[in-house]
Amino acid sequence: MSDRPTAASRRHDPAVRGFASDNYSGIHPEVLAAIATANDGHQVSYGDDDYTEHLQALFQRHFGEQAQAYPVFNGTGANVVALQAVTDRWASVVCSSVAHIHNDECGAPEKVGGLKLYAVPTSDGKLTPELIDREARGFDDEHRAQPQVVSLTQSTEMGTVYSPEQLRSLCDHAHARGMRVHMDGSRISNAAASLGTTLREISTDVGVDILSFGGTKNGLMIGEVVVVLNPNVAKGMLYVRKSAMQLGSKMRFISVQFEALLSGDLWLRNASHSNAMATRLDAAIRDIPGVRVTQPVQANVVFAILPRDVTERLQKRFRFYTWDESTGEVRLMCSFDTTESDVDTFAAAIAEELSGTPG
């Protein structure tokens, strides 16, 4: 009898839990079931399938009848495609200094998209009209890459959330300068759940022109969607997506996941739960001597400063990342499948490690 592992062999311990990233989590059972549903028989490839066609109506339900949905593979691809679609070759993008497009995409917006990024320092991940104006300048100066887009992240990389009023102010400010607004919405569902708004109220209704809509961080296996909210400013989306290597041949398996996410309230259930777990974690650790929570907990992440030796010991037991090596700030991310027991066990471990740390 062969001792070779089968294709279904499990190569990880499902009991291992952590707070490193909402990308570490598995796939929501309803999404897995949807993928299985789409798996029977043959469907036309490259987006001409029934599931992708139906996806358009779903996104229009959530974002307005003008919305156009273009599924892609991942968040970096979504951001690059979206930015390319609303810019000229000589354009630049104003973003925050902690923006994913600036820090975590290996220069893809610049290398693949051909775009100059002007990153503005911000302590909480949020831009303001005044911060935008630090780099939204030099219009018609042939020596300066022309500022054509403001890129916002909702919720931000620091876990903070823009209110609808703040977003409206930023969009109005950008539009008054002839700029477009891109939103990196890899966690827009968490922002909507935190604010108690619809997805449309923090995107279309406030003036966002194009959106990278996240799914992978909210229970999907793979896939994001570029959502064109203002068709008047997006150019050649079909060609931009293909030339950026983001056109999936078996697109039905990306699209059907978003059908599972958006046809009911799964997007909101998942996001609300991960937010609630972050709130629980914040409440459990913020008063522990030696812990300093550094950002308002408004979505599904807690930022805190811990003693370095405590972090090193904890990381041998739990997965999480150090955000800022210079200060000892760590990022503790919750997911749709984070449990109350996960949170309580981790919080107790933090308290135990700190109680054993010499003063």
Q: Residue 261: CB partners within 8 Å, gap ≥ 6?
A: 31, 215, 218, 219, 220, 267, 270
Structural tokens at position 91: 């354009």
β pairing state of 91-96 and 116-120: parallel
| Residue pLDDT, tens place only, 18-34 | 999 999 999 999 999 99
Say what the pLDDT of residue 6 is. Answer: 65
Sorting pLDDT into bands at 50, 70 and 90, what band is 343? very high
CA 347/CA 151 separation, integer angstroms: 35
Domain boundaries, the chain: 29-262, 266-352
Tens of pLDDT along 110-157? 999 999 999 999 999 999 999 999 999 999 999 999 999 999 999 999
Q: pLDDT tier at 358 (50, 70, 90 boundaries)?
A: very low
Task: Pick the closest to residue 192 from 124, 275, 295, 71 (CA basis).
Answer: 275
Higher pLDDT, residue 50 or 12: 50
Statement: residue 2 has pLDDT above 60: no
CATH fold of the domain at 29-262: Aspartate Aminotransferase; domain 2 (3.40.640)
Query: What residues have CB less than 8 Å from 28, skipping those under 6 apart?
Result: 219, 220, 260, 266, 270, 336, 337
Burial of 199 (0-12, 13-18, 19+ CB in 10 A): buried
- At residue 4, the pLDDT reads 62
The pLDDT of residue 236 is 95
User: What are 93-102's pLDDT values in tens digits?
Assistant: 999 999 999 9
Q: Quote the DSSP letter at residue 322.
A: E
What is the pLDDT at residue 16? 84
pLDDT, tens digit (0-9, with 9 covering 90-100), for 224-282: 999 999 999 999 999 999 999 999 999 999 999 999 999 999 999 999 999 999 999 99
Query: Residue 359: which pLDDT band, with cuts at 50, 70 and 90?
Result: very low
pLDDT band at 356 (very low <50, low <70, confident <90, very high): confident
pTM tops 0.85, yes or no: yes
The overall average pLDDT reported for the chain is: 96
Report the C-alpha gap between 67 and 198 in whole angstroms: 15
Selected from 3.20.20.10, 3.40.50.10800, 3.90.1150.10, 3.40.50.20, the CATH number assigned to the domain covering 266-352 reads 3.90.1150.10
Of 295 and 14, more confident: 295
